[in-house]
Amino acid sequence: MNSIFKTVASSDISISELMLPSNTNFSGKIHGGYILSLMDQIAFACASKFSGNYCVTASVDTVNFLKPIEVGELVTMKANVNYVGKSSMIIGIRVEAENIQTGKIKHCNSSYFTMVAKDKEGNSTLVPRLILTNLNEVRRFYNCIKLIALKEEKNLHKEAFDYRSEKALENIKKYNVRVEL
Range with the poorest average pLDDT among 123-127, 147-151, 154-158 = 154-158
How far is CA 125 from its chain centroid?
21
Dump pLDDT digits (tens) for 109-121: 999 999 999 999 9
Does residue 128 fall inside a structural domain?
yes
Dump pLDDT digits (tens) for 34-50: 999 999 999 999 999 99
- Residue 95, domain CATH: 3.10.129.10
The helix (H) or strand (E) run that includes residue 147 is: helix 135-156
Q: Is the pLDDT of residue 85 over 90?
A: yes
Secondary structure in 3-state letters for 78-116: EEEEEEECCCEEEEEEEEEEECCCCCCEEEEEEEEEEEE
Q: Which domain holds residue 53?
A: 5-134
Number of compact structural domains in the chain: 1
Does residue 147 fall inside a structural domain?
no
CB 43 within 8 A of CB 9: no
Average pLDDT over residues 24-30: 95
The structure's pTM equals 0.87
- Rounded CA separation 117/55 (Å): 4
